[in-house]
Amino acid sequence: MKLASLFTGAGGLDLGFEKAGFHVVWANEYDSTIWETFEYNFPKTKLDRRSIVDVSDSDIPNVDGIIGGPPCQSWSEAGAVRGINDKRGQLFFDYVRLLKEKQPKFFLAENVSGILHPKHAEAFNNIIKSFQDAGYVISWKLLNTNDYDVPEDRLRVIIIGYHKKLKKKFDFPA
């Protein structure tokens, strides 16, 4: 299955999907300090270097799924915790915009555990609703990446959506 990766960073999430048999054909990353690393690790993937706000659905090839982790600084408990009031926190809505326009079979979004802080409850619920309104059946869960062979003890919120036309809901393994 072909994937597009938004907010790709150095490609850690992409690498996991590639190891699972997926193929990341297109990626987007705005941070120029990461480009060289990503392109070294993924020489066959087209890297779009523009801000996500400047990317349209026609820029992204037809794919089966979209993956990505919108910037976490807005939600991180170690950061300013401005959440949706921070421009970076609002980039979740560009993820939703592209998802709504492309309508792939599924998506996976990940972010820091701080997004679940009670201070961000309304914003998080609005993000989930936006994914639903884009046409997806949503499942989400707080997971420790170490339980999935990632060599660090790191909590991450994983949001997975299957397109409604598939009539499926993702069930996280026990």
Cβ neighbours of 40 (radius 10 Å): 10
Q: Which residues contact 142 (CB under 8 A, 6 or more apart)?
A: 113, 116, 155, 156, 157, 158
Q: Which residue has the tokens 């990353």?
A: 29
Residue 85 per-residue DSSP state: G
Tell me how far CA of residue 15 lies from CA of 36, 126, 141, in angstroms.
Answer: 16, 29, 21
Any catalytic annotation for residue 114?
A: no
Cβ neighbours of 119 (radius 10 Å): 13
Cα separation, 93 vs 135, in Å, equals 14
Q: Which residue has the tokens 């919108």?
A: 70
Which of the residues 24, 66, 72, 143 is marked catalytic?
72
Which residues are known catalytic residues? 72
